[in-house]
Amino acid sequence: MPKQTFFNLPQNKRERIIAAAIDEFAEYHFLDASINRIIDHANISRGSFYQYFEDLEDLYQYIFQIVADKKQAYMDQHLMDQQTSNDIFQVLRKMYQLGLKFAEEHPAFAKIGNHLFKGDKQFKLRILGEWEEHSKQFFIGLLKKGQEEGTVRQDLDLEVASFLFYQLSLTLTDQYLMENDWFENINRYLEASNEMLNIFAQGIRAPK
Partner DNA sequence: ATCGCTTATGACAAGGTTGTCATATCCTTT
Partner DNA sequence: AAAGGATATGACAACCTTGTCATAAGCGAT
Q: Which residues bind DNA (CB under 7 A)?
A: 4-5, 8-9, 13, 33-37, 44-48, 50-52, 55-56
In the set 8, 11, 83, 202, which binds a second copy (CB under 8 A)?
Answer: 202
Does the protein bind a second copy through residue 186 (CB under 8 A)? no
**Is the CB of 19 or the CB of 186 nearer to a second copy?**
186
**Is the CB of 52 or the CB of 64 nearer to DNA?**
52
Contact by Cβ (8 Å): 64, 112: yes
- Out of a second copy, DNA, none, what residue 4 binds, judged by CB under 5 to 8 A for its kind, is DNA
State the chain's maximal CA–CA distance in angstroms: 68
* Nearby residues of 119 by Cβ (< 8 Å), 6 or more positions away: 29, 30, 31
Burial (0-12, 13-18, 19+ Cβ within 10 Å), 9: middle
Does residue 43 sit in helix, strand or coil? coil
In angstroms, the CA 42 to CA 20 distance is 5
User: How many residues contact a second copy, by CB under 8 A?
Assistant: 30
Report 17-46 residues binding a second copy (CB under 8 A).
32
**Is the CB of 47 or the CB of 207 nearer to DNA?**
47
* Contact stretch for a second copy (CB under 8 A) within 14-22, 66-74, 137-145, 171-179: 171-179
In angstroms, the CA 59 to CA 65 distance is 10
